[in-house]
Amino acid sequence: MKNIRIEEVGDINSDYPYLEVFLKENMSPFLEVSISDDKELFLKFYASSIDVQIDVEEWEYILSTAKDFLPKALKNEDDFFNYNA
């Protein structure tokens, strides 16, 4: 995707990894895609000093990536807990 960059982040303070979404030229994310306590996708938009403009194709790319991410992240965490049980 020419204007969007998505990075997976692992954080010791989170039960699950999450995704940060950037405009390619920007160092600060404008969106975080995480997993809620109900094991559903949760979107947090960050305040920004610039206007964030994306087109429908870019939004569909973000949504598709998030939907692919959810079952993989849940499985990885479940596998980790089952391995350590």
- The domain total for the chain is 1
b/e burial code for range 51-78 (CB count within 10 A of at least 16 → b): eeebeeebeebbeebbeebbeebeeeee
Question: Is it the case that residue 46 has pLDDT exceeding 60?
Answer: yes
pTM of the model: 0.86
| pLDDT tens figures, 61-80 | 999 999 999 999 998 876 65
- Residue 12 Cα to chain centre, angstroms: 16
pLDDT score of 82 more than 70: no
Given a cut of 70, whether residue 1 has pLDDT beyond it is: no
Domain that holds residue 43: 4-84
